[in-house]
Chains A and B, each alone.
Chain A
Amino acid sequence: DAGVTQSPTHLIKTRGQQVTLRCSPKSGHDTVSWYQQALGQGPQFIFQYYEEEERQRGNFPDRFSGHQFPNYSSELNVNALLLGDSALYLCASSFGIAGPPSYEQYFGPGTRLTVT
């Protein structure tokens, strides 16, 4: 049973560029949440997708957008990259939607984005 997978593992981009990160949820899961984790900090919730729609959103600018596909996989897009966007981006999956993106989420290994 495959867990949550993310690609790529590492990515280096230049300020001002755009980036797309990908996530495949755990088998049987239909909800995907994205988090940003800066070095030495806990993850911060970006948004959650369920039934191909954004259901919940954290305090992140519109430069951060996403998409969920019919097979439940998801993409995170970040436009006009800033140096401060450098972080580990985590994807988490769960089954069903019931308020906050919380209990028993399964996390992927993350994509480490470096913006130079």
Chain B
Amino acid sequence: SQELEQSPQSLIVQEGKNLTINCTSSKTLYGLYWYKQKYGEGLIFLMMLQKGGEEKSHEKITAKLDEKKQQSSLHITASQPSHAGIYLCGADMDNDMRFGAGTRLTVKP
């Protein structure tokens, strides 16, 4: 089973709509990372969250880590076709880095 559960697995939205992707862990997260991956390509680092309640934004993407440090959300405002791709959360666990299975985002023009 995945130690990091992401939901939804896939998402299709109309351009301009807002959306949220979630990442949940059964363990306390001491470093939570969000990456974006285009199909078959490498991962692009988006943001890192470490403190409970922390929130970071970059352009139209906002990521939050809850107070208990077991869940993170990634919110995209006014989605654009350039936001399409696979979003992965990753976390430091047991001396290595674990990833969720990813959320595939499609943005329809």
Contact = CB atoms under 8 A, between A and B. Distances in A.
Interface in A5-52: 33, 40-45
Contacts of A43: 43, 88, 90, 99
Given A42-B102, A45-B97, A103 B42 contact: no
Interface residues of B, number: 24
Given A45-B96, A88-B40, A109-B42, A103 B101 contact: no
B34 to A, nearest CB: 12
Interface string A49-93: 000000010100000000000000000000000000000101010
Contact of B48 (A58, A103, A108): A103
Interface string B87-109: 01010110111111110000000
B50 to A, nearest CB: 9
Given A41-B101, A42-B90, A42-B100, A100 B41 contact: no
Given A40-B101, A42-B88, A104-B48, A4 B42 contact: yes
Contacts, number: 65
Contacts of B4: 42
B92 A100 contact: yes
Q: How large is the interface on A (under 10, 10 to 19, 20 to 34, 35 or more residues)?
A: 20 to 34
The 6 closest A-B pairs by CB, nearest first: A42-B99, A107-B42, A100-B92, A45-B96, A107-B43, A109-B42
Given A44-B99, A56-B96, 19 more contacts: A42-B2, A42-B4, A42-B99, A42-B100, A42-B102, A43-B99, A45-B97, A56-B95, A88-B40, A90-B42, A100-B92, A100-B93, A100-B95, A100-B97, A101-B97, A103-B31, A107-B43, A107-B44, A110-B41
